[in-house]
Amino acid sequence: MINYSNINGHLVAAGEASLKVSDLSVLRGFAIFDFFLFRKGHPLFLNDYLDRFYRSAQLLHMEVPFSKTDFARQIIQLIERNGQEEGGIRLLLTGGYSPDGYSPAEPNVLILQYPLPAKTWQSSQGIKLMTHTFLREIPEVKTTNYVTGISLLPELKRCGFDDLLFVENGEWIRESVRSNFFLVFDGQRVVTPGNKVLLGVTRKQILHLAGKRYPVEERDVHISELKEAHEAFFTSTIKGVLPVVQIDDQLIGDGKPGLVSAQLYQDFISHVEAYLEEQSRKARQLMEA
């Protein structure tokens, strides 16, 4: 059971966590968020997620009313109070209770805990994507705006696809709704769109890990390159590394998950294990000090 949420620095009963309807997240979709996992009680790559959360806020001229250190402390406290070993944490910063229903007011800050998603880092036979001509409104900012993705869920289901691939002007591949996108060429060259995408934390880890084994490129990727690709995969906090085997009616490579994706998936799992061991070691040192 997850008993607690944190709203504006105070623990509240999770089931009663609510916002008045004058909040600008409700009225104007004016809010940023972030989401990360914790394992063995330790948030994974917390500094990266906090950096992104604060950067999202700054780009929209919003202010997180806590220092990163204080905010991290509140996150750890919430995880400890809820007493779960693993799960997900959502951070949310809203435009606040606006007197005129439009101008930002004192922000509301929420820390919400969730059970570990069922599909976390599962390997897969690979998923099928439907392209959609679209560029996220402010791609670098993790706003709460998912209207396009959610409104296309019925069409995805009807057409038998698993997720979307956003293509700017029908030409430049950018990202998916909640995932970054990678291609593998010549059985080894790892390429991901470098502009106008949300800079995923898992994307960053995978770029780092891939760079140890393969040539890596962050650059604009044209839709016509799909037919040359040997592999494709998603990265995301929840999915980790997830093979993509078909885009519209086009198979990627031989239509099966590829060796590079599988290698990077293994590397990522090992990287997380090492990160957790390091966090545990630091925690023991602190306890002993």
Q: Give residues in contact with a second copy (CB under 8 A).
A: 5, 16-21, 23-31, 33, 59-61, 90, 92, 94-95, 101-104, 110, 112, 114, 137-138, 143-148, 150-151, 153-154, 178
Please, are residues 240 and 120 in contact by the beta-carbon 8 Å criterion? Answer: yes
Nearer to a second copy, 27 or 72 (CB): 27
Q: CB of 216: closest distance to a second copy in angstroms? A: 30
Please, are residues 160 and 130 in contact by the beta-carbon 8 Å criterion? Answer: no
User: CA–CA separation, 221 vs 171, rounded Å?
Assistant: 9
Q: CB of 156: closest distance to a second copy in angstroms? A: 11
Nearer to a second copy, 25 or 180 (CB): 25
Nearer to a second copy, 74 or 94 (CB): 94
Query: 182-206 b/e with 16+ CB inside 10 Å = b?
Result: bbbbeeebbbbbeebbbbbbbbebb
Nearer to a second copy, 150 or 283 (CB): 150
Q: Look-up: residue for tokens 């069409």? A: 155
Please, are residues 177 and 161 in contact by the beta-carbon 8 Å criterion? Answer: no
Amino acid, single-letter form, for residue 65 = P
Nearer to a second copy, 114 or 185 (CB): 114
Q: CB of 100: closest distance to a second copy in angstroms? A: 8
DSSP assignment letter at 92: E
Q: CB of 284: closest distance to a second copy in angstroms? A: 34
Tokens of 269: 């799992």
Q: CB of 240: closest distance to a second copy in angstroms? A: 18
